Amino acid sequence: MPTLIHNTNCRKARLLATFAVLVLVLSFLGPQTETWAQTEGTVDDANQYERMLPFPEDRITVPSWRYAGGPHVRAAFRDVVAEASRATVRLFVDGEPAALGAIVDSEGWILTKASRLSGDITCQLADGTVFDAQTVGVNRDFDLAMLKIEATQLPALAISETQSPPVGSWLASVGTGRDPIAVGVVSVPPRAIPHRFGILGVLLDDRAEQALVVQVFPESGAAQAGLQVNDIIATVDGVQTPSREQLIRTVRTYSPGDKLKLEVKRQDETLLVEALLSSDLPGVHPSRDEFQNQLGGELSQRRFGFPNAVQHDSVVEPADCGGPIVNLDGEVVGLNIARSGRTETYAIPSASLTLLIDKLKPSR
């Protein structure tokens, strides 16, 4: 059973990372508005200095593509991600890119972000081969899903209970290409990410004995699921919700990005619908912190309530979550699970992944 072997060329990896640091230093020099003569020495000394070292007198600017997310910096980590990228896949839902995934067993077992999957799933391997994929296991606490494709002898990630990378250490987020999709450093050591309850998008009658809907907010998960005024929500994921209070308590145990299966009574009919919870109501202005976080681009809907996660400052798009992260030795140290801010990404540490992988596989 072929398994990826860790890149042990530490010296080369660290030299590559050093090059990346130098590029980053250059990028942060920014505009230079003062000449040497304005900061120290006499005018004559300055003239002689400029004749010896012909620095430009105009502003020195560095293009944005040389920053941490630029191709030159990411290319410096190419050898670091070479092995892991062979075991990383691209997942599509109804033909649209939805997430990355990590092959954790050569017999076609793939670990990824669960809340990004809703519809027909296809899996594209690093070599371009495409397979249909089925969800066979889900862990809601970590928002992880185990997929199965009908393939064998695949390259698989070697995930071990390695020590979590220390704060300040480099990480590379692996994609299916030869360069990482992002690089960054560890910002915060592993910790629990507080739960934040999701919003269904209905207003309930506080005088009725049952969970009776009196308003459905436009563009909410409830509206998209087709809920209507005077509907009665009888169950949530099989849990009875005989009252308004019970429905609220049940929904608040779920996070934004979770999908709920609702049993709805509408006059003489009983309907089964699926609703996606959101982090806020459409049309309601976000808080100042939320607004600033969203300035850098789209955030993951499910980005709260993880029992254990490490935070790094790489900019990983929501559709690129679900893939592995590696340290400078090429060792898999976690799985990207959510983009939570402009420069905040959460990853599930390897120690937690090793405890979950076998549990997510159905008994054979």
| pLDDT one-digit tens code per residue, 348-357 | 999 999 999 9
User: What's the pLDDT score for residue 294?
Assistant: 58
Say what the pLDDT of residue 118 is.
83
| 160 in any annotated domain | yes
Spatial separation of the C-alpha atoms in residues 362 and 358, rounded to whole Å: 8
Return the pLDDT at 293.
Answer: 60
Look up residue 203 and give its amino acid. Answer: L
pLDDT at 296: 61
**Residue 33: its pLDDT value, please?**
35
Q: What is the DSSP string of 69-102?
A: TSHHHHHTTHHHHHHHHTTEEEEEETTEEEEEEE
- Crossing angle for the helix pair 10-27 and 78-85, nearest 10 degrees? 120
Range of the domain at 86: 79-194+298-360
Note whether 116 and 172 are same-domain residues. Answer: yes
**What is the reported pLDDT for 342?**
86
The token pair at 19 is 């090059």
Count the Cβ atoms, other than its own, within 10 Å of residue 170: 22
* 293 domain-assigned: no
Q: Look-up: residue for tokens 């371009």?
A: 128
Specify whether 109 is located in the same domain as 256: no
pLDDT of residue 16: 54
Residue type for position 296: G
Task: Taking the CA atoms of 280, 285, 287 and 290 in sequence, report the sign of the dihedral they define.
Answer: positive
Q: Which of 88, 67, 81 is nearest to 16 (CA)?
A: 81
Residues 89 and 189 in one domain: yes
Specify the CATH number for the domain of residue 343. 2.40.10.120
Give a yes or no: residue 336 inside a domain.
Answer: yes
Of 276, 306, 341, the position where a domain reaches its end is 276
CB neighbour list of residue 208: distance below 8 Å, 6 or more residues apart:
244
232 close to 210: Cβ distance less than 8 angstroms: yes
Distance CA(335)–CA(103), nearest Å, equals: 11
Of 275, 151, 292, 299, nearest to 222 by C-alpha is 275
CATH at residue 224: 2.30.42.10
Q: Which residues pair with 260 in a beta bridge?
A: 275
Question: What is the SS3 assignment for 336?
Answer: strand
How far apart (Å, rounded) are the C-alpha atoms in residues 14 and 8?
A: 11
Q: Which residues contact 71 (CB under 8 A, 6 or more apart)?
A: 65, 179
Question: How many residues can be counted in the chain?
Answer: 364
134 and 88 belong to one structural domain: yes
**Pair 179, 117 in one domain:** yes
Q: What pLDDT shows up at residue 295?
A: 59
In the chain, the number of structural domains is: 2
For residues 207 and 178, membership in a common domain is answered with no
Domain identity same for 87 and 187:
yes
d(CA 5, CA 83): 7
pLDDT at 289: 63
175 shares its domain with 217:
no
Q: Is position 285 within any domain?
A: no
Per-residue pLDDT of the chain (364 residues; tens, 9 = 90+): 444 434 445 544 554 555 555 445 444 444 433 333 333 444 454 445 444 545 455 555 555 545 556 777 888 899 999 999 999 999 999 999 999 999 999 999 999 999 999 889 999 999 999 999 999 999 999 999 999 999 999 999 998 777 788 999 999 999 999 999 999 999 999 999 999 889 999 999 999 999 999 999 999 999 999 999 999 999 999 999 999 999 999 999 998 888 899 999 999 999 999 999 988 776 665 556 665 565 567 899 899 999 999 999 999 999 999 999 999 999 999 999 999 998 899 999 999 999 999 899 986 5
Do 175 and 312 lie in a common domain? yes
Do residues 309 and 181 both lie within one domain?
Answer: yes
Could you report the per-residue pLDDT of 222-266, keeping only the tens digit for each?
Answer: 999 999 999 999 999 999 999 999 999 999 999 888 889 999 999
Task: Provide φ and ψ at 84, rounded to 5°.
Answer: -65, -30
Q: Closest by alpha carbon to 334, among 351, 319, 318, 320?
A: 351
CA 108, 114, 119 angle in degrees (round to 5)? Answer: 85
Q: Both tokens of residue 12? A: 């080369």
- 113 lies in the same domain as 253: no
- What's residue 135's pLDDT? 96
As given in the structure block, the two tokens for residue 335 are: 């799985």
Identify the pLDDT of residue 30: 43
The reply to whether 305 and 325 lie within a common domain is: yes
pLDDT at 71: 79
